Chain A
Amino acid sequence: QVQLQESGPGLVKPSQTLSLTCTVSGGSISSGSYYWSWIRQPAGKGLEWIGRIYTSGSTNYNPSLKSRVTISVDTSKNQFSLKLSSVTAADTAVYYCARNTAYCSGGSCYKAADYWGQGTLVTVSS
């Protein structure tokens, strides 16, 4: 059974860099038709997609966050990571990591997040 677990500081000061790691267990981060993503959710609000990474290292980011986001992967540790720079109170949220699987049929591949971490609350405050 695949499991994902977010880890990192729960409190970050304004203007600093938020750093989180997602550790994948129960399967190799490098195997299969997967990519790995970060999603966040401010308290009482909806889900916001942050970005994704393929194990090749290729990344895509939310245009609204692109200038501040870096997602990387460490296949030797079965982990992928998120860095968000120059944080403000608006970045306070529960951060989730997720595995996205490509379900392919008839030449088309449909991707969806089938495994999620439990989420970790990051508060930006001095």
Chain B
Amino acid sequence: DIQLTQSPSFLSASVGDRVTITCRASQGISSYLAWYQQKPGKAPKLLIYAASTLQSGVPSRFSGSGSGTEFTLTISSLQPEDFATYYCQHPGTFGPGTKVDIK
């Protein structure tokens, strides 16, 4: 079974900061990776699929890259509404999550 790890598990950042979250797969998964954002008490929201394709309606400050075993989610300029937990997913499994908090 494929395992996903994320780093960091927690990060503290300020509005306007550039933020990068890494997701690593235990074996190559090509570009079969999605990223989700979850706010407290809410269902996750799809941000990116196919590793780098932005879901319709998602702000362009979000971007994804990578293939094989290493992937990144980047927020180019952190906004107040971006403070949340972010999960990567390969069909059948989720990463453990990265919580982005206010510095």
Any chain A CB within 8 A of the CB of B65? no
* Residue tally, chain A, CB below 8 Å to B: 23
* B residues 58-103 in Cβ contact with A at 8 Å: 87, 89, 91-97
**Cα distance, A12 to B99, chains bound together (Å):** 31
**Shortest Cβ distance from residue A72 to the other chain B in the assembled complex, whole angstroms:** 19
Count of A-B contacts judged by CB separation below 8 Å: 60
Any chain A CB within 8 A of the CB of B27? no
- Would B31 and A110 count as touching, CB distance under 8 A? yes
B94 contact from A48, A100, A103, A116, Cβ within 8 A: A48
* B residues 20-52 in Cβ contact with A at 8 Å: 30-32, 34, 36, 38, 42-46, 49-50
- A contacts, CB < 8 Å to B: 39, 46-49, 60, 62-63, 96, 98, 100, 103, 105, 108, 110-114, 116-119
